[in-house]
Amino acid sequence: MLLHACCAPCATVGTAELSQEGWELTLYYYGGNIHPEREWSRRLESLKILAGNYALPLVVRPYDTKEWSLTAQGFENEPEGGRRCELCMRLQLENAAHEAQKQEIQWLCTSLTLSPQKHPDLINTWGREICSRYGLNWLERVWRKRNGFAFSVSESKRLNLYRQNYCGCCFSLRTSESAEQNNKRIEDGNGIF
């Protein structure tokens, strides 16, 4: 099984559950959507910790944002969670399927369904569709079920994993920075409400 790991905290649940179920796992990190490169590196370091904890192989696509930038072109003004994000998730799954095929791994799954901000039905639909084109099997999971998010938080603390405060791209970073500035103004008593 190739488990597409968008980041270590999101991959904690899938890694634990699939390992317990007896799957022979390989983690895959795409990361072409992550900005800036030092953020990509921080996330990679946490994935190495997670993979090491379970003695799993980790396949890392070298840092390159060109493909993601071309995919996002024309969608720069989309709201967070909009069409640009859908294209980004599909691109990640497409790359994971390509890697699974290259590695001759027959099953693919993703950690993307842990986040409460993402739509697991859409992600699983895309996964099935992409896998059918690559001749792979898709394992449909929604990791946030059964207290998955709480497990992710506690497991991230236990393993001392970096938990980022934005999805990853330059657009989500700007949204996150804007929200942090607004929160700071509110904490300082300068918010406008």
Read off the pLDDT of residues 124-145 as tens digits, 9 standing for 90 and up. 999 999 999 999 999 999 999 9
Q: What is the mean pLDDT of residues 58-85?
A: 92
> What pLDDT does residue 60 have?
98
> What pLDDT does residue 175 have?
64
Residue type, 36: P
Closest CA to 155 of 28, 9, 25: 9
Q: Is 21 or 167 the better-scoring residue by pLDDT?
A: 21
Sign of the C-alpha dihedral computed for residues 92, 97, 101 and 106 taken in this order? positive
The whole-model pTM stands at: 0.88
Closest CA to 16 of 104, 114, 119: 114
- Cis upstream peptide for 57 (omega within 30°): no
**Do 112 and 92 touch, CB atoms closer than 8 A?**
yes
> What pLDDT does residue 176 have?
53
Q: What is the mean pLDDT of residues 72-77?
A: 90
Q: What is the mean pLDDT of residues 70-81?
A: 88
Q: What whole-number distance in Å separates Cα of residue 29 and Cα of residue 4?
A: 6
Domain ranges for the chain, please list them. Answer: 2-187
> What pLDDT does residue 18 have?
98
Q: How confident is the model at residue 77 (pLDDT cuts 50, 70, 90)?
A: confident
Q: Is the predicted pLDDT of residue 187 greater than 80, yes or no?
A: no
- Class of the CATH-defined domain 2-187: alpha beta
